[in-house]
Structure 1
């Protein structure tokens, strides 16, 4: 039996093992394969361990499998395996399991250039690339710097009559005493690559900050408006106050509201500023000009090259990151990996520019190890990845 033939056969048997539909003859065949080499046992255990068999396959189920299955079967045909008589495995969850098992073995052979795992071969461990976590740096008005992580809950020293408390991955401001006639004093929170943090401002507005993001804001809002300054991406759930407009100012644009929920994407090195409205109403305005557009729920406004446009969107795609998911629809691989690189704090290198334009639709769990996310993408058979320390090579 050649390498490709055995790859598909073993994958199919493992898929039936995971689904609990393996026959006695298949069990004997699997036992024989496991006894052939300790490395076969290691690979089998890795493929069927609980977190993979549940979480990873469920994640795979969110990829568009029809194309992947078609491609896989086409490869099988090219390898002259189509003529083999086998039971047809029904589509659905079984198709995902078959592909998951087959890709686990098949990509191993392709990447290592080895035959089926045999005696005397050295197992190369794939490094773990852990997901981001709550972490930030808080610059107080006094000049003091505080490092924030999810491991601590504490009360910081009050500033200008405002209490500042940290509860795990959330920092909260609360006005302890009203002081009239004072000037606004600013704090700045900076979230690094591989980080996130949640902030509750003194007016009760809640802000979710994504990786590589900074927000400058008053300790207490004074005057006729509530203005904050954003670089990066944040989701705002603004406390309603018809007397005080809430303004998010970025390098190129302003978002003006009174009480609403919306997402702003405004990284300083990006070509466009994007605002996505979930609830209420907002104005998106170009700084330094009178150009503006008003958005209604379910709409997204974009400022690019001095031009303002808007369109209807599925807002879940743009706010899923605050609920532990990342949702992508017909997105270029280059753009998708740019988002993921910020969260996982890795570098991405494409061996060919054309690979950046590959389109991807799917959903991944934000807190999964990045190697599992790469497995989901790689399972489509469009691209492959090689991990070198914290650099991901796309080829």
Structure 2
């Protein structure tokens, strides 16, 4: 891929024909997708060095050097609540001790976490997600339970498949990289495969599971699994602390903000709901920062009740 064309695409200046070329290249193989995501990350880091929107109060302005962002990307911006013999709190990466006790990690609203399981599998957890897992894997399978969203880089072991159990479907793998979105409180269920192979199993169903190939995704529509190609490669940047929206309706955008930040948003100004938006935000900047940027192109005001954690858009 021509580096100049790739940068042009990332900057949002590509023509429709050029966008098609880059999209096809990204979908050819996982290495291309990794290269794209790496270049996109560098581009976003550079953007972080610019000034915030003019509407922000100057006292709140912050400057970020590339070195500082790289250091921050290496950290884990979450407080992990490990339920073992009581509750303990950590920040930073956490390696699971090798014991037989089942543990649960919950990531608070607006945060994310990374951990390594006893078998070497790496897991990234998104906001308001809970992962339940054993301290060590025994028997014929390695199983964990997910309520929320997680990205898994599974250590290969053909003798001991890895299974992610969710409230709707289970995902079975041998060794691969994939994303699962399965919040129990949300109707959306989907998994996206970047590398390797996975099989999606519906508990209680007599049907054989659906297999996915790299750059494919599956979503649950009612009781039916639907397969398709990954369209939003930027989406996986949530692991780096970025919320990415690509031509999304304000209605759907608000639903995601409610989910990720654990806040109730009441929209009285319904005229804005059909408008569409494209942009990126750092998760740690909070929901109000997103709303301040959003209202630059959408006429609305909002108030927040800190006691009830309710935001009202008028």
The question of a shared fold, defined as TM-score above 0.5 by the shorter chain, is answered with yes
The answer for the alignment partner of 1:145 in structure 2 is: 86
The answer for the alignment partner of 1:380 in structure 2 is: 297
Instruction: Determine helix, strand or coil for the equivalent of 1:208.
Output: strand
- How far, CA to CA, are the matches of 1:320 and 1:274 in structure 2? 16
- How far, CA to CA, are the matches of 1:254 and 1:261 in structure 2? 15
Query: Cα offset for 1:381?
Result: 2.6
Show CA shifts across 1:44-76 (max 9, x none).
xxxxxxx9992425xxxxxxxxxxxxxxxxxxx
Instruction: Determine helix, strand or coil for the equivalent of 1:367.
Output: helix
The answer for the alignment partner of 2:221 in structure 1 is: 304
The answer for the alignment partner of 2:72 in structure 1 is: none
Query: Cα offset for 1:185?
Result: 3.6
Query: Cα offset for 1:134?
Result: 0.8
Is residue 360 of structure 1 aligned with residue 304 of structure 2?
no
- How far, CA to CA, are the matches of 1:277 and 1:249 in structure 2? 16
Is residue 260 of structure 1 aligned with residue 183 of structure 2?
no
Instruction: Determine helix, strand or coil for the equivalent of 1:336.
Output: helix
* Alpha-carbon spacing, 1:233–1:200, altered in 2? closer, same or farther (3 Å): same
- How far, CA to CA, are the matches of 2:304 and 2:293 in structure 1? 15
- How far, CA to CA, are the matches of 2:166 and 2:235 in structure 1? 18
The answer for the alignment partner of 1:333 in structure 2 is: 250
Is residue 294 of structure 1 aligned with residue 211 of structure 2?
yes
The answer for the alignment partner of 2:263 in structure 1 is: 346
Query: Cα offset for 1:245?
Result: 0.7
Pick from 134, 140, 153 the counterpart of residue 237 of structure 1: 153
Instruction: Determine helix, strand or coil for the equivalent of 1:376.
Output: helix
Query: Cα offset for 1:333?
Result: 2.0
Pick from 222, 227, 236 the counterpart of residue 319 of structure 1: 236
Q: How many residues align?
A: 249
- How far, CA to CA, are the matches of 1:251 and 1:346 in structure 2? 22
- How far, CA to CA, are the matches of 1:334 and 1:263 in structure 2? 24
> Any conservation in 2 of the 1:271–1:305 contact (CA below 8 Å)?
no
Q: RMSD of aligned C-alpha atoms?
A: 2.8
* Alpha-carbon spacing, 1:382–1:359, altered in 2? closer, same or farther (3 Å): farther
- How far, CA to CA, are the matches of 1:174 and 1:387 in structure 2? 41
Task: Please list every run of 5 or more consecutive structure 1 residues that lacks an aligned counterpart in the other structure.
Answer: 1-50, 58-99, 109-124, 127-131, 151-168, 177-183
Paired residues for 1:15-34 under 5 Å: none
Larger Rg: 1
Task: Please list every run of 5 or more consecutive structure 2 residues that lacks an aligned counterpart in the other structure.
Answer: 1-46, 61-75
Compare relative contact order (CA 8 Å, sep 6+) and give the higher one, 1 or 2.
Answer: 1
